[in-house]
Structure 1
Amino acid sequence: MSKVLDAIPASVQQRAQSAVLLSLLRLPRPLLRRVAGPPTRVDGQELALEVQALLRLQALAGQERMAADTPEKARAGMAQGIEVVRGAGVSGVQVSKRTVSAGSGELPARLYRPEGRTEPSTLLVFYHGGGWVVGDLDTHDELCRFLAKHADIRVLSVDYRLAPEHPFPAAAEDAVDAYQYVLENAEDLGSSADSIAVGGDSAGGNLAAVVSQHATANGLKSPVLQLLLYPATDAGTRRRSRELFGNGFLLTDGDMDWFMDMYQPEVSARSDQRLSVLRNEDLTGLAPTVLITAGFDPLRDEGEEYGRRLSEAGVPVISRRFPDLIHGFANLFGASPRLREAMFEIVGELRAGLSLHSGG
């Protein structure tokens, strides 16, 4: 049987896995509950049924962790996982290849423009997540398409150097350089220097926060908004959510140690504000923020603490917790109606945040 499977192209096997998974997740709720098991309740929250079923199926397939023996295997694993849950895909978006000049060289990028949007618009510079070790333009392609189409803005997804080949502060430096490049080339990208936002998920949310802090501290034009999806904000403190949700909810405690050891192996240097943005004592003057967290996420508490600190510093903050979801849910929206519903809510928050800038 294994020889038969080996003869089937990987792409065909992947499409078959995707079809089976998505079909299972669309079973009637009583049947899906039988797949998922009894409801998972932690810290006064109940995990979404579709998410619990997805996690159960991943566990049965032996795919409970994001880390792997090598960075290459982890990258391949993330890419495969994203493809399996991709679903029908997002249409109505024009995508073009770009490059962004940085101190480290030319960074690959993709520009997303909603079809029909020919006039200038807000441009969201987006940094992908993946613990600064995995992830790329492909793994976050559908997410960027979704944000561009439904927020009716342009999105520039920027690749950056990954660890361990390029440890801290390489990713942070690339993120800052990319933002400066966009400010200088905004018109060519269909926007203006007065309409540039930054955003990202997880490690990418960390990079977006780094960019916003750098701009304020160095006299650059500040982003009009920062969209932080379950960001990493403090590499030096273990908070309660990491203890509660460190195992069984996609991003594990071991994963987080593995990623950090790759990105910044020097423990004593992890308080650097270009990594632990929460350690910055002065957050005044930063860009208005849409901050999204997930209830079953080990990063939940540090993300929400960053939101509180921003608000205390006088920064306008729209903070939203999805109590029934897990870390990384924005990349999984093709898997179930609940996850897609959450993404539409995020787009609504994004549009509300941008309206503060436009005054509309």
Structure 2
Amino acid sequence: MANAIEQKLQSAVLRGVFALPAPLRRVLAGSAIRLDDQELALDAQLLLKLQKLSGQEGLAASTPEAARTAMSDAPTSGGPQLPGVVVAERTIPAEHGTLPARLYRPRELTETGPLMVFLHGGGWVIGDIDTHDDLCRFLAKHAGIRVLSVDYRLAPEHRFPAAFDDALAAYRWAVDNAAELGSSADAIAIGGDSAGGNLAASVSLHATRNGMQKPVFQLLLYPATDATVRRRSREIFGNGGFLLTDHDMTWFMDHYEPEVDNRGDVRLSPLLADDHAELPTAYIVTCGFDPLRDEGEAYAKALADAGVPVVARRFADLIHGFANLRPVSHRFEEALFEIVGTTRAALQLTKR
């Protein structure tokens, strides 16, 4: 209880800082940061400055448990819940037991419609349905769809391909139980952010190549798509203090798949698949100041080159993980409104 109260107080203070006039926020943030012909958004820079002052610059920690606690207790996730969304807990059967899940529905949505299976980010090591509760509420409410958020097993307790196996089981269950979830088997989409975007892309690839009902649409927010190559964006932004660091990425991957020779498996590196044809329509979001930027954009190009309908959108002024930072900043929320608007339109166009 004490931790929850402290988190809410810190969240209120943080929102107060971001409500200051822009000139004052600029003074606090410092001179504008320009890199790779891009300028970092003021609010992103201010958030990074505040995190640095608090002693936190990345997502990794001394132990996975400590990193999970830090993410759960972050003041950026301590604000009031978004209203107008009906939430119900679900349990998904899996070979090893069950997976906790949470079903979100806009209060006014009563008819059958699209459902998105959503897989949270966190490097396959941290994060859960609670850390991504605000994002899923926002997506459900403003895209006008049902969202099924899934808690998959985390590394290092459960290494690759455990998270993939759970994501696939959750997607399969959603297809098989679509009617009970308020949808239909041919209207199930899949989405995720960061590591969750990786899982969503990998499940889409597997479903398409193995004769399953493939997702009608895939929403990939700054996804990891290739664990075998260090691209230019990782070299430029990995050590600049832009939330996700080069050390974080190594730390996450070493926990999830320590065997380097296995990292080219398409269940972990979907960009390396021999064929990307006939994959689901994709909306791939990247951020200018993100070490993962270039592999996300390489994946968008691979899909487009294979004839898959793709919308690739780079938010040049933003950082990795901004979708979870919506409660504190208008700029992050503005970007999310664009994302849900595009998602809503894409799902309307894919109706059968």
Residues 8 and 79 of structure 2 are in contact (CA less than 8 Å); yes or no, is this contact kept in structure 1? no
Distance 2:137 2:204 in 1: 23
Partner of 1:324: 317
Residues 102 and 181 of structure 1 are in contact (CA less than 8 Å); yes or no, is this contact kept in structure 2? no
Q: CA deviation at 1:153?
A: 0.3
Distance 1:255 1:9 in 2: 29
Please state whether the residue corresponding to 1:72 is helix, strand or coil.
helix
**1:17 and 2:13 equivalent?**
no
Partner of 1:336: 329
Partner of 1:5: none
Q: CA deviation at 1:177?
A: 1.0
Residues 33 and 49 of structure 1 are in contact (CA less than 8 Å); yes or no, is this contact kept in structure 2? yes
**1:205 and 2:190 equivalent?**
no
Partner of 1:3: none
Which amino acid in the other structure matches residue 161 of structure 1? Answer: R
Partner of 1:292: 285
Partner of 1:72: 65
Partner of 2:164: 172
Residues 77 and 131 of structure 2 are in contact (CA less than 8 Å); yes or no, is this contact kept in structure 1? no
Distance 1:339 1:313 in 2: 32
Which string of whole-angstrom CA distances, capped at 9 and with x for unpartnered residues, describes residues 201-250 of structure 1?
Answer: 00000000011001111100110000000000000100000011102000
Which amino acid in the other structure matches residue 40 of structure 2? Answer: L
**1:122 and 2:114 equivalent?**
yes
Distance 2:314 2:40 in 1: 13
> Identity across aligned pairs (percent)?
62
| Residue correspondence of structure 1 range 143-222 to structure 2 within 5 A | 143-222=135-214
- For structure 2, list consecutive stretches of 5 or more residues without a partner in the other structure: none
**1:98 and 2:90 equivalent?**
yes
Which amino acid in the other structure matches residue 71 of structure 1? Answer: P
Q: CA deviation at 1:86?
A: 4.2
Q: 1:110 aligns with which of 90, 94, 102?
A: 102
Residues 124 and 199 of structure 1 are in contact (CA less than 8 Å); yes or no, is this contact kept in structure 2? yes
Q: CA deviation at 1:26?
A: 1.4
Distance 1:325 1:41 in 2: 12
Q: 1:240 aligns with which of 223, 229, 232?
A: 232
Partner of 1:136: 128
Residues 104 and 140 of structure 2 are in contact (CA less than 8 Å); yes or no, is this contact kept in structure 1? yes
**1:278 and 2:290 equivalent?**
no
Please state whether the residue corresponding to 1:187 is helix, strand or coil.
coil
Distance 2:80 2:93 in 1: 33
Which amino acid in the other structure matches residue 165 of structure 1? Answer: E
Which amino acid in the other structure matches residue 234 of structure 2? Answer: R
Distance 1:84 1:44 in 2: 28
Q: CA deviation at 1:85?
A: 4.3
Which amino acid in the other structure matches residue 186 of structure 2? Answer: D
**1:38 and 2:31 equivalent?**
yes
Which string of whole-angstrom CA distances, capped at 9 and with x for unpartnered residues, describes residues 109-135 of structure 1?
Answer: 000010021111100000000000000
Residues 229 and 291 of structure 1 are in contact (CA less than 8 Å); yes or no, is this contact kept in structure 2? yes
Distance 1:11 1:224 in 2: 39
Which amino acid in the other structure matches residue 267 of structure 1? Answer: V
Q: CA deviation at 1:282?
A: 0.2
Which amino acid in the other structure matches residue 97 of structure 1? Answer: E
Partner of 2:40: 47
- For structure 1, list consecutive stretches of 5 or more residues without a partner in the other structure: 1-7
Distance 2:332 2:92 in 1: 32
Please state whether the residue corresponding to 1:242 is helix, strand or coil.
helix
Please state whether the residue corresponding to 1:188 is helix, strand or coil.
coil
Which string of whole-angstrom CA distances, capped at 9 and with x for unpartnered residues, describes residues 158-199 of structure 1?
Answer: 110100000000000111111111111100111000100000
Which amino acid in the other structure matches residue 251 of structure 1? Answer: L
Distance 2:108 2:149 in 1: 20
Distance 2:80 2:40 in 1: 25
Which amino acid in the other structure matches residue 329 of structure 1? Answer: F
Residues 8 and 78 of structure 2 are in contact (CA less than 8 Å); yes or no, is this contact kept in structure 1? no
TM-score normalised by structure 1 residue count: 0.96
| Residue correspondence of structure 1 range 242-261 to structure 2 within 5 A | 242-247=234-239, 248-261=241-254
Q: CA deviation at 1:355?
A: 2.1
**1:56 and 2:49 equivalent?**
yes
Q: CA deviation at 1:104?
A: 2.1
Residues 318 and 353 of structure 1 are in contact (CA less than 8 Å); yes or no, is this contact kept in structure 2? no
- Runs in 1 of length 4+ with deviation above 6 angstroms? none
